[in-house]
Amino acid sequence: MTAIAATIEAPARPEASRTAFIIAWALCLIFYFLQYALRSAPGVMIPELTTAFGLTTLGVSALLGMYYYTYAAFALVSGASLDRFGAKLPIFIGVLSTAIGSVLFGFGAITTVEGGRLLQGAGSAFAFTGAVYLAVHGFSGKWLATAIGVTQLCGMLGGFAGQFAVGPLVHGSIGWQSFWFYAGAALTALAVLMLVATPASHDKVHGSLLTMFAPYKVVLTNPQSYLCGIIGGLLFMPTTIGDMIWGVTLLHQGFGIATEEAVARSSMVPLGWVIGAPLLGYLADRIGRRKPVLIAGIALMMISGLGISYLEAFIPPYFGGLFFGIGSGAAMIPYSMIKEANPDNVKGSATGAMNFLVFSLSAFLAPVFGLALMRLSGGRPLTLDHFHQADYIWGGAIVLSFILTLFLRETGAAARQTPAASAS
């Protein structure tokens, strides 16, 4: 994420104002951590959800995938509203919406669960964009890259906690419904804290509400933006859907691994993000080129994915998921590239457009993968063979991301050097 920060110039502000923005940013990190945990937590509750609602494999996948419908749509709204209204009210509404969505999910009726999942996605769309907005206003250019790197790290740790920590809780000391009530209470308290702590000052913006979406016209008429978004989405899907929703079920029903062990192994994928995203981002900055590192990450995903599916007996436990997560950290590189491929005055909107494109693919593929599993199993219990056949979807996504990467324009610093700069 350092390359993202390098393209953003933090505005000059009094020290006291900067401190207030930094405090608000720190609180927003908690929001980003929690929303990532809530995104991945249902993956360890699939047996409970299936029993509670009598859902088919397709039904479970469609239910949990509803999160991505509103997340994708509100990715566009979040970036535009922050630029229009400042951080105080939009982020408060985002956190509170996620809190209400969590409580609704915990009520346990299918209609409230569906509505809750949609609200969680809509509110969560304000977490990353809000944290970046606050970091830009709170940190000098010298520390901005570090701040945004820490932001992404917190999200990845939340994804890890949503499986590793939540699994033992819902299968032990608290039920799955109680978990959502506790999460809603924590988010409500956080929303109040953010409303109090976030600075209210914001420059007055003229024009109609529709004008705040004008920068998206620039971003979404650039073919490179679509390439970045589709590649990022293809690389995210095997983790956001393949692991976060179905990873535990694959290991438990496919390989016969105990549930507690399956949760621990599946959580290695988001833990790998914690390593892979900053590491691959650093390498891309270090060599001044994005595409070679992106291709290396794609290759690592493919190799480790094949190892998980077909060589599980020959690789040490936890290593396959960890390396798959490290490779999937390459999905963050297109976030840098979409900013570098668009003009300076629309870089904020580029992040919103990127999230929209990435998670639109997740919203589309979540029910598709569930349908594939249901048809392959014929309604019977899932087996390893069913997963092997359905996993061709993820293999195809990774291969397609590689092919599309060949058409990406290199945006790294080395490629942007002019002949004169190179000669000097």
Q: What is the pLDDT of residues 103-139, one digit of tens each?
A: 999 998 889 999 999 999 999 999 988 888 888 788 7
Is 71 in contact with 122 (CB distance < 8 Å)?
yes
Residues 178 and 100 occupy one common structural domain: yes
The conformation of residue 380, written as its DSSP 8-state character, comes to S
Angle at 220 between CA 224 and CA 84, to 5 degrees: 130
Q: Which of 152, 174, 198 lies at the terminal end of a domain, its last residue?
A: 198
State residue 347's pLDDT score: 67
| All residues at 6 or more sequence positions from 204 whose CB lies less than 8 Å from its CB, including other chains | none
Residue-number span of the structural domain to which 178 is assigned: 17-198
Is the pLDDT reported for residue 24 higher than 90? yes
Q: Which of 198, 227, 243 lies at the terminal end of a domain, its last residue?
A: 198
Domain annotation covers residue 423: no
Give me the phi and psi of 295, to 5 degrees please: -65, -40
Among 84-88, 200-204, 241-245, the minimum mean pLDDT is found in: 200-204
Is 163 in contact with 248 (CB distance < 8 Å)?
yes
Give me the phi and psi of 34, to 5 degrees please: -65, -40
Among 307-316, 320-329, 395-404, the minimum mean pLDDT is found in: 307-316
**Percent of the chain's residues with pLDDT above 90:** 30
- Where b means 16+ CB within 10 Å and e means fewer, 250-265 reads bbbbbbebebeebbbb
Is the pLDDT reported for residue 343 higher than 80? yes
Domain annotation covers residue 123: yes
Is the pLDDT reported for residue 65 higher than 50? yes
Q: Which of 165, 198, 231 lies at the terminal end of a domain, its last residue?
A: 198
Is 38 in contact with 98 (CB distance < 8 Å)?
yes
State residue 1's pLDDT score: 43
Is the pLDDT reported for residue 364 higher than 50? yes
Residue 9 pLDDT grade (very low, low, confident, very high; cuts 50, 70, 90): very low
State residue 94's pLDDT score: 96
Residues 187 and 56 occupy one common structural domain: yes
Residues 221 and 339 occupy one common structural domain: yes
Is the pLDDT reported for residue 298 higher than 90? yes
Tell me the three state secondary structure of residue 288.
Answer: coil
* Gap between the Cα atoms of 132 and 146, Å rounded: 11
Domain annotation covers residue 3: no
Residues 165 and 288 occupy one common structural domain: no
Residues 185 and 279 occupy one common structural domain: no
Domain annotation covers residue 204: no
Is the pLDDT reported for residue 16 higher than 60? no
> Would you list the DSSP string of 145-207?
HHHHHHHHHHHHHHHHHHHHTHHHHHTTTS-HHHHHHHHHHHHHHHHHHHHHHS--------S
Total tally of structural domains belonging to the chain: 2
Residue 169 pLDDT grade (very low, low, confident, very high; cuts 50, 70, 90): confident
Angle at 327 between CA 323 and CA 330, to 5 degrees: 160
* Gap between the Cα atoms of 159 and 271, Å rounded: 8
Domain annotation covers residue 420: no
Burial of 114 (0-12, 13-18, 19+ CB in 10 A): middle
Rg (CA), the chain: 21
State residue 287's pLDDT score: 87
Is the pLDDT reported for residue 383 higher than 60? yes
Residue 424 pLDDT grade (very low, low, confident, very high; cuts 50, 70, 90): very low
Which among 120-129, 316-325, 408-417 has the top mean pLDDT? 120-129
Cα end-to-end distance, the chain, whole Å: 29
Domain annotation covers residue 8: no
- Between the CA of residue 240 and those of 247, 284, 369, 402, what are the distances in Å? 10, 23, 12, 19
Is 246 in contact with 369 (CB distance < 8 Å)?
yes
Residues 108 and 231 occupy one common structural domain: no
Tell me the three state secondary structure of residue 275.
Answer: helix
State residue 420's pLDDT score: 41
Residues 232 and 373 occupy one common structural domain: yes
Among 280-289, 342-351, 356-365, 388-397, the minimum mean pLDDT is found in: 342-351
Is the pLDDT reported for residue 97 higher than 60? yes
Residue 190 pLDDT grade (very low, low, confident, very high; cuts 50, 70, 90): very high
Average pLDDT over residues 198-220: 72
Average pLDDT over the chain, rounded to an integer:
83
Residues 31 and 173 occupy one common structural domain: yes
Average pLDDT over residues 185-200: 94
Residue 171 pLDDT grade (very low, low, confident, very high; cuts 50, 70, 90): confident
State residue 14's pLDDT score: 57
**Percent of the chain's residues with pLDDT above 70:** 89
| All residues at 6 or more sequence positions from 379 whose CB lies less than 8 Å from its CB, including other chains | 56
Residue 225 pLDDT grade (very low, low, confident, very high; cuts 50, 70, 90): very high
* Gap between the Cα atoms of 416 and 181, Å rounded: 50
Average pLDDT over residues 157-170: 82
State residue 398's pLDDT score: 95
Is the pLDDT reported for residue 352 higher than 90? no
CA 57 to chain CA mean position, Å:
23
Domain annotation covers residue 6: no
Is the pLDDT reported for residue 212 higher than 80? no
Angle at 75 between CA 71 and CA 80, to 5 degrees: 150
Residues 274 and 379 occupy one common structural domain: yes
Question: CB count, 10 Å around CB of 102?
Answer: 28
* Gap between the Cα atoms of 167 and 48, Å rounded: 12
Residues 194 and 251 occupy one common structural domain: no
Is the pLDDT reported for residue 359 higher than 90? no
Average pLDDT over residues 252-278: 84
Among 32-36, 104-108, 151-155, the minimum mean pLDDT is found in: 151-155
Is 88 in contact with 187 (CB distance < 8 Å)?
no
| All residues at 6 or more sequence positions from 196 whose CB lies less than 8 Å from its CB, including other chains | none
* Gap between the Cα atoms of 407 and 410, Å rounded: 9
| All residues at 6 or more sequence positions from 255 whose CB lies less than 8 Å from its CB, including other chains | 262, 312, 384
Residues 106 and 186 occupy one common structural domain: yes
Residues 175 and 232 occupy one common structural domain: no
Domain annotation covers residue 1: no
Is the pLDDT reported for residue 81 higher than 90? no
State residue 143's pLDDT score: 60
> Tell me, what CATH number does 129's domain have?
1.20.1250.20
Alpha helices in 288-418 (DSSP H): 291-310, 319-328, 333-340, 347-377, 384-390, 392-405, 413-416
